[in-house]
Amino acid sequence: MAIRIRTAPPGERKLSWWDKLHFPAILSGMMYTLRRMFMKRFTVQYPEEPIVLGPEFRGRPVLVMENGRERCVACGLCARVCPPFAIHMQAAETDDPKERYPAVFEINMLRCIYCGLCEEVCPEEAIVMSPAYDFVFRSREEAIYTKERLLVDKKQLEPRLKWLAAMRNPQFGKRYRFRITNNIHSVMARGKVAEGHEMVS
């Protein structure tokens, strides 16, 4: 008795005599390769060549330093929203009764998942995702970034801050006019006024 061996699953398309030649498939594959040879190359010889990333890239979260001090007012929102509890902070009072500052601010980079939620909730734009991606640590202790290691001058973060402003401001404008005077006590707003931004009243 003959044994039937099923080589193709039921319903599979049957090859025509043209398909069985395999020539069109080979030709189409070669044409594709040829086209790719003349297209722009995206391969970067890293680390010899640096990778230039756009402002939308979410790298290591950092604290914005403006006029020699942190923008952070130690509200604690970022620490609360951080999914893997990577942020640890302790607030302390300043001379200004309306303000606090973070006496301790740490991010455990072994936990951070670069989600950007800390940046999203921060009312001061005091914590932002920097373009830094090539950092290393050799121990668990080194992976904990203290406030001193987190602080980055605002000038270096301008591309990201501008990108955030462009992405966020249209959301504000839909329902009401954003009034900088409403938030004039904040460190960020003071900086904006000092830069000559218009105060809408």
Pick between residue 28 and residue 182 the one whose CB is nearest to ligand SF4.
Answer: 182
d(C-alpha 122, C-alpha 62), whole Å: 12
Least separation in angstroms between CB 18 and ligand SF4 = 55
Which of 62, 78, 164, 189 is the binder for ligand SF4 (CB under 6 A)? 78
Least separation in angstroms between CB 195 and ligand SF4 = 19
Residues 154-183 touching ligand SF4, rule: CB under 6 A, are none
Q: What is the largest CA-CA distance in the chain?
A: 98
Q: Is 65 in the site for ligand SF4 (CB under 6 A)?
A: no
Pick between residue 91 and residue 193 the one whose CB is nearest to ligand SF4.
Answer: 91
Least separation in angstroms between CB 165 and ligand SF4 = 16
Which of 62, 107, 150, 164 is the binder for ligand SF4 (CB under 6 A)? 107
Which of 62, 65, 74, 157 is the binder for ligand SF4 (CB under 6 A)? 74
Q: Long-range contact list for 9-12, CB < 8 A, 24+ apart?
A: none
Residues in the interface with ligand SF4 (CB under 6 A) total 27
Which residues are near ligand SF4 by CB under 6 A? 61, 72-78, 82-84, 86-87, 89, 107, 112-118, 121-122, 124, 126-127
